[in-house]
């Protein structure tokens, strides 16, 4: 007992020198500790707790040193095993909770990203309403006499722009006799959301003969009645044409044959026709079926 007190007094004396003052340690039994010893133990345990979390290698070294001091002094300086285990368990639970929180946050972020992408995709699939160009507005404002061949074309253009059919829009440049009609594949069809463009030119004999109509190559659908040169197998462009018809009615008919298609296939005789000049009057054409 006396040797243990001597060791305690030596350690206390060291602390006194460091602090530059006098302290006294009562001669009590092993179950009681002086205030200085208690403070020293708390400081050591705080150091170990910090080093356990931040510097595990240093923590092991410190524990060895403090264990030696315990042996020499007989004082309980190190935390009991259950306290260390509890601290580690608590730290492990906190780390696991942070990890799960991070995963949930990432999952939520990914979900939001997917939702944003889907919303963007849906938004982009909705065709923007075409705004009449300055040239188109000029054509509409021009006063054309009924005796002028362009009078009929201007009338058709006004009707098209005033009440455009679903999935169709028209643009006109400096030449009122040359139109570009944009077709957007109708909903619930094999061409849904796809963009196609028709070139429509009115010949001098119009409306006695039909307009010249074909698809522009960069906006060409794969269809059993559409050749790869842009020509469309459509009787309205040949012997089925009537002067009472219009360019708009032709565009509506072309949209109709696209919407009724069940598969994307080229015409059977495409190889024989692919090199021909597109948009010619189809007066000598022989149509393979009534759907043309």
Helix, strand, or coil (residue 263): coil
Rounded-to-integer distance, Cα 179 and Cα 200, Å:
5
Which residue out of 168, 233, 258, 261 is catalytically annotated?
A: 233
Asked if 252 and 142 sit in the same domain, the reply is: yes
Look at residue 51 and tell me if it is in a domain.
yes
Band of the pLDDT at 19, cuts 50, 70, 90?
A: very low
Band of the pLDDT at 205, cuts 50, 70, 90?
A: very high
Helix, strand, or coil (residue 181): strand
Look at residue 94 and tell me if it is in a domain.
no
Look at residue 73 and tell me if it is in a domain.
yes
Domain edge (last residue) among 37, 54, 79: 79
Query: In the predicted model, is pLDDT for residue 24 greater than 60?
Result: no
- Looking at per-residue pLDDT, the higher value among 206 and 123 belongs to 206
Query: In the predicted model, is pLDDT for residue 83 greater than 50?
Result: no
Asked if 264 and 140 sit in the same domain, the reply is: yes
Query: In the predicted model, is pLDDT for residue 121 greater than 90?
Result: no
DSSP letter at 282 equals B
The length of the chain is 292
Asked if 157 and 69 sit in the same domain, the reply is: no
Look at residue 251 and tell me if it is in a domain.
yes
Per residue, what are the HEC states of 200-230? EECCCCCCCCCCEEEECHHHCCCECCECCCC
Q: Which helix or strand (DSSP H or E) is residue 73 part of? A: helix 56-73
Asked if 48 and 158 sit in the same domain, the reply is: no
Please compute the mean of the pLDDT values over residues 285-291 and round it to a whole number: 65
Asked if 253 and 150 sit in the same domain, the reply is: yes
| pLDDT > 70 fraction of the chain, expressed in percent and rounded | 62
Domain edge (last residue) among 58, 79, 100: 79
Rounded-to-integer distance, Cα 42 and Cα 136, Å:
88
Look at residue 99 and tell me if it is in a domain.
no
CATH at 234: 3.10.110.10
pLDDT tens, position by position, 219-255: 999 999 999 999 999 999 999 999 999 999 999 999 9
Asked if 159 and 57 sit in the same domain, the reply is: no
pLDDT tens, position by position, 160-170: 999 999 999 99
Give the residue numbers spanning the domain of 48: 2-79
103 upstream amide cis, omega within 30 of 0: no
Look at residue 92 and tell me if it is in a domain.
no
Look at residue 285 and tell me if it is in a domain.
no
Look at residue 129 and tell me if it is in a domain.
no
Band of the pLDDT at 122, cuts 50, 70, 90?
A: very low
Band of the pLDDT at 8, cuts 50, 70, 90?
A: very low
What is the model's pLDDT at position 116?
57
What is the model's pLDDT at position 4?
46
What is the model's pLDDT at position 208?
95
8 Å CB contact between 222 and 199: no
**DSSP state string for 94-159:** HHHHHHHHHHHHHHHHHHHHHHHHHHHHHHHHSPPPPPPPHHHHHHHHS---TTSTHHHHHHHHHH
Average pLDDT, the chain: 78
Is 233 noted as a catalytic residue in this protein? yes
What is the model's pLDDT at position 29?
44
Band of the pLDDT at 46, cuts 50, 70, 90?
A: confident
8 Å CB contact between 159 and 174: no
Rounded-to-integer distance, Cα 69 and Cα 72, Å:
5
- Looking at per-residue pLDDT, the higher value among 270 and 56 belongs to 270
| Tokens at 108, concatenated | 């939520």
What is the domain count for the chain? 2
């Amino acid at each position: 007992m006396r040797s243990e007190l001597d060791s305690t007094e030596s350690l206390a004396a060291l602390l006194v020198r460091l602090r530059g003052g006098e302290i006294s340690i009562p001669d009590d039994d092993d179950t009681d500790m002086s205030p200085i010893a208690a403070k020293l133990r708390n400081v050591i345990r705080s150091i170990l707790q910090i080093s356990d979390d931040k510097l595990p290698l240093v923590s092991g070294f410190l524990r060895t040193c403090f264990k030696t001091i315990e042996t020499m002094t007989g004082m309980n300086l190190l935390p009991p095993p259950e306290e260390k285990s509890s601290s580690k368990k608590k730290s492990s639970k906190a780390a696991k909770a942070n990890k799960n929180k991070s995963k949930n946050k990432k999952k939520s972020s990914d979900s939001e990203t997917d939702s944003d992408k889907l919303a963007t995709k849906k938004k982009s699939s909705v065709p923007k309403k075409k705004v009449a160009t300055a040239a188109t507005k000029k054509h509409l404002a021009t006063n054309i006499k009924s005796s002028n061949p362009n009078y009929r074309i201007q009338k058709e253009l006004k009707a098209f722009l005033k009440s455009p059919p679903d999935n169709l829009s028209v643009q006109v440049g400096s030449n009122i006799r040359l139109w570009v009609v944009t077709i957007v594949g109708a909903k619930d069809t094999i061409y849904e959301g796809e963009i196609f463009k028709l070139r429509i030119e009115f010949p001098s004999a119009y409306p006695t003969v039909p307009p010249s109509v074909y698809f522009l190559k960069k906006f060409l659908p794969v269809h059993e009645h559409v050749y790869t040169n842009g020509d469309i197998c459509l009787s309205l462009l040949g012997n089925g044409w009537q002067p009472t018809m219009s360019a708009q009615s032709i565009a509506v008919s072309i949209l109709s044959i696209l919407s009724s298609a069940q598969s994307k296939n080229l015409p059977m005789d495409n190889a024989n026709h692919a090199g021909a000049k597109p948009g010619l009057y189809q007066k000598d054409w022989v149509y393979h079926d009534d759907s043309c």
